[in-house]
Amino acid sequence: MKTPAFLHRVFGGKFAAKKTQVRRFQAARIDRLSADWIATYSSINEELRGDLDRLRARGRELRNNNDYARKFCGMVETNMVGPAGFVMQARSENAPGKADKLANDAIEAAFVRWQAVCDVTGRQSLRDMCETLVGGLPSDGEFLVRLVRGPDAGNEFNFALQLIDVDRIDTTFNGIEPSTGNTVIMGVEVNAWRRTVAIHIFEAHPNDGPRTSRRRVRLPAEDVIHGFKVERAEQVRGIPWMAPGMLSLHHLGGFMLAAVLAAEHGANHFGFFTQNNDATPGVLPVGQHEEGEGGEAITTSQPGVYDTLPPGYDFKPHESKYPNEVFGPFVKTALQRVASGWRVSYHALANDLEGVNFFSIRSGTLDERDRWSSDQQWFIDILLKRVRSEWLVMSLLSNAITMPTGSPLPAAKVAKFAPHDWLGRRWEWVDPLKDMNARIAGVGAGLVAPQDLSAQMGRDFYDTMLKIKEAQDLAQQLGIVLPAYAASWPARQCVWRSR
């Protein structure tokens, strides 16, 4: 039965059918305001397949020519590796809780010797190689290291490393590897579980002049370390770390270059002479065509002199828009956006400490240091732990790790000698007095172990204790009192206090 028309007029359409309300995510709506928001449903590997080589090439161009990109690469190298590099500490034990000091010292001493000869080319130490690897992550997003075993290593440990340019990974190789039947994605061969089983590289760099080669070589996974940060499931190639800010930085660089050229042009041009109908033939403005003995134009200027234009000439000054008052704020805003995409503080990337106070810089610095510590641990897990494991096996088999008596450590006890730790670089306190007092209070309250505090400072607790003992013995031998280690000092002063 139809609703009478007068009921609509009386009740205002109360009996009319109600429209269904649908809840939706605003970011997924398609309308005139979001029509230019283009997104795809492709997998991460399909997206990288078409863009990875171009991303890497553009990232390297920025690293070579852009000031801020170069600064970011330097920040990655300095904060992840640092001046001393990563320090390996052996942790083998004779019994639970009882360290095998002689074996640990022998392993650490041998590892120090190996670090100087670990590069198969003989050009870099382990620290330098680590700096090269992490320095390429902003533009490349990945690295490739080959493990060289046996006589080819060229050292007493029969183990070395070879750095391989990721350009040599054949990104265009996608399909099936005939010899194994495995799937190959951008040069990375994976099994049914998407576990990497081999890397397919060119025999030489594909763009290296007369040394160019596009002949592929298959490197088994046990012979290489292909490191990259996994950002999405099933990802097999690395994404350049600078990718989120590369386009903004490119356009910012173009804008800054144009602004500099405009400012230079404005500084070089004071104005223009204009001629009207009253100009006298053959008479030009002062200094325009006066010639010296060599026929060259002469321009003279003296302080406090007013020049007079000939009849028929006017002067129009040139007013350049640069430097402009909005130039600085615009560049700062653009760099803040780039710094956010690269997960670093703006003041560190731009070297801009204007308007920064202690609390703001402390907050930004601590947050950034957490990022670097996380990156250090990723690098240790993906590269250094495996390198140390492979080195230990080859060194023991080569009798290259010897005790003070000259006898080599037995290879049969490789499992005993395997435990170890890595110490990365650490930073000075932001507020030394307060930060140190807080940590001392934590140790005194039993909330933090001294070993953990020493590790946070980038030092080994056992080595620190040995150095303190040496300092005490030397002071006693020389008749010097060290107040910090005196028996009454802890009772007299538990924390450092400012005077």
pLDDT digits (tens, 9 = 90+) for 372-424: 999 999 999 999 999 999 999 999 999 999 999 899 999 999 999 999 999 99
Element at 465 (helix H, strand E): helix 461-478
Task: For residue 183, report the phi and psi dihedrals to the nearest 5 degrees.
Answer: -80, 140
d(CA 235, CA 257): 37
Q: Which long-range contacts (CB under 8 A, 24 or more apart) does 204-209 make?
A: 204/168, 205/165, 205/167, 205/168, 206/167, 206/168, 207/167
d(CA 228, CA 44): 14
Of the candidates 452, 441, 486, which has an alpha carbon nearest to the alpha carbon of residue 468? 486
**Around 312, how many Cα atoms within 13 Å sit in the side-chain half-sphere?**
11
Q: Which two tokens stand for residue 287?
A: 């200094």
Q: What is the pLDDT of residue 23?
A: 66
Q: What is the pLDDT of residue 14?
A: 53
| Strand order through the sheet with 159-164 | 159-164, 142-149, 224-228
Residues 6+ apart with CB under 8 A from 385: 422
d(CA 252, CA 328): 12
Q: What is the pLDDT of residue 306?
A: 65
Low-confidence ranges of the chain (pLDDT < 50): 295, 297-298, 488-499
Contact between 171 and 53 under an 8 Å Cβ cutoff? The reply is: yes
Place of tokens 């006589």: 151
DSSP-derived pairing of the beta strands 216-220 and 224-228:
unpaired
d(CA 444, CA 468): 19
List the alpha helices (DSSP H) in 313-384: 327-342, 346-350, 358-379
Q: Tell me, yes or no, if the pTM score tops 0.85.
A: no
Q: Which two tokens stand for residue 254?
A: 């173009």
Q: What is the pLDDT of residue 499?
A: 37
When computed from its CA atoms, the radius of gyration of the chain, rounded to whole angstroms, is 34
Q: What is the pLDDT of residue 368?
A: 87
List the alpha helices (DSSP H) in 343-456: 346-350, 358-379, 385-397, 414-417, 432-444, 450-456
